[in-house]
Amino acid sequence: MNRHALAVDVGATKIALALVDRDYVVSHQHEVTVRGNPNMWDEIHATTIDLMKIADDELIGVGIGSAGPLHLDHGAISPVNIPQWRMFPIVSKFKELTGSSNVILHGDAMALAHAEHRLGAGRGATNMLGMVVSTGIGGGLILNGSLFTGETGNACYIGHHAINFDGERCACGRRGCVETYASGPRMVAIASERGWNSGNSFIELAESARQGNSTALEVIDEGTRALAIGIVNTIGSLDIRTVVIGGGVSQAGEVYWAPLRAHFEAEARTTGFIDKPDLRLAALQRSSGVVGAALGVLDTATSNQTFDKIHS
């Protein structure tokens, strides 16, 4: 039997659950909507039970990648964009639900960085910054070939680095965070404030930009500049040069990547020491979050390990 990890990827818009086997193959992925969903945990509970049955009652454990901030000492999370989850005890919830003591928690962007370094666009990089750019913005670090989590598990909290101390107040409470300019929903909101009325999603904003809409082009340019500043602030502090970006916004194509690349290279030049900055699109795309979440469990499993027997 090819034993599996249960992978849980907690984002601001959706929570993805899937089985990931020891060859990193993702199967039976299911997504639970976050916003406006009063039954969110009930759906997660039911999906988990279904996945345990599919796994034939044997799991290596549960790997969770979540938007932050994280509270690793408590096994809890407080995702900025999920206000109903404050100090939510997600580790104990999954331990109780599955009967497994092997539940590993880390950040969603750390999960992406881990997966892309192991299997995707970051292969071969000794040092790498991985980023999720979607409803929210987060970062994860590979240093000297290993995942770096920091003291509390919140290393590279880039979305909430302030780049304008007089800027608009962010949902996190600070002013002028990278996320207030560069996330998908915020770019849509800014464009709408400036008169753009061709939709309500970043997909539609990007399409308007492709069609030459000046407001859409302007806002995407500003958003990518804000992101580039946040990235270069981070990699400049660490003296690294490889960056891998995933998440829904990153999939918009050249209308997004052309200005991002230009701003990234311009900001990097100002440091005077970041030689040949290396910006890459995540290769695993929608699978990176669940694969990275699962890696926290799969990396600890060996062929002679005794696996938890889970009874639903």
| Cα dihedral 110/111/113/119 (nearest 10) | 160
- Is residue 11 within 8 A of residue 285, CB to CB? The reply is no
Secondary structure of the chain as H, E, C letters: CCCEEEEEEECCCEEEEEEEECCCCEEEEEEEECCCCCCHHHHHHHHHHHHHHHCCCEEEEEEEEECCCEEHHHCEECCCCCCCCCCECHHHHHHHHHCCCCEEEEEHHHHHHHHHHHHCCCCCCCCEEEEEECCCEEEEEEECCEEECCCCCCCCCHHHCECCCCCCECCCCCECEHHHHHCHHHHHHHHHHCCCCCCCCHHHHHHHHHCCCHHHHHHHHHHHHHHHHHHHHHHHHHCCCEEEEECHHHHHCHHHHHHHHHHHHHHHHHHCCCCCCEEEECCCHHHHHHHHHHHHHHCCCCCCCCCCECCC
pLDDT at 309: 31
pTM confidence score: 0.88
pLDDT computed for residue 1 by the predictor = 52
pLDDT of residue 299: 83
Q: Do 30 and 17 contact (CB within 8 A), yes or no?
A: yes
Which residue is it, tokens 């909290």? 157
Q: Are 101 and 142 in contact (CB under 8 A)?
A: no
The domains located in the chain, with CATH, are 4-110+287-298 (3.30.420.40), 123-282 (3.30.420.40)
Q: What is the pLDDT along the chain (312 residues), one digit of tens a residue?
A: 568 999 999 988 899 999 999 899 999 999 999 988 999 999 999 999 999 999 876 789 999 999 889 999 999 999 988 999 999 999 999 999 999 999 999 999 999 999 999 999 999 999 999 999 999 999 999 999 999 989 998 999 999 999 999 999 998 999 999 999 999 999 999 999 999 999 999 999 999 999 999 999 999 999 999 999 999 999 999 999 999 999 999 999 999 999 999 999 999 999 999 988 999 999 997 788 899 999 989 987 643 343 333 322
Per-residue confidence (pLDDT) for residue 303, from 0 to 100: 33
Contact criterion met (CB below 8 Å) for 227 and 137: yes
Type of residue numbered 92 = S
Q: Give the pLDDT of residue 127.
A: 97
* Calpha distance 258→189 (Å, rounded): 22
C-alpha distances out from residue 95 to 2, 18, 62, 63, 210, Å: 22, 17, 8, 11, 47
Dihedral pair phi/psi, residue 223, rounded to 5°: -65, -40
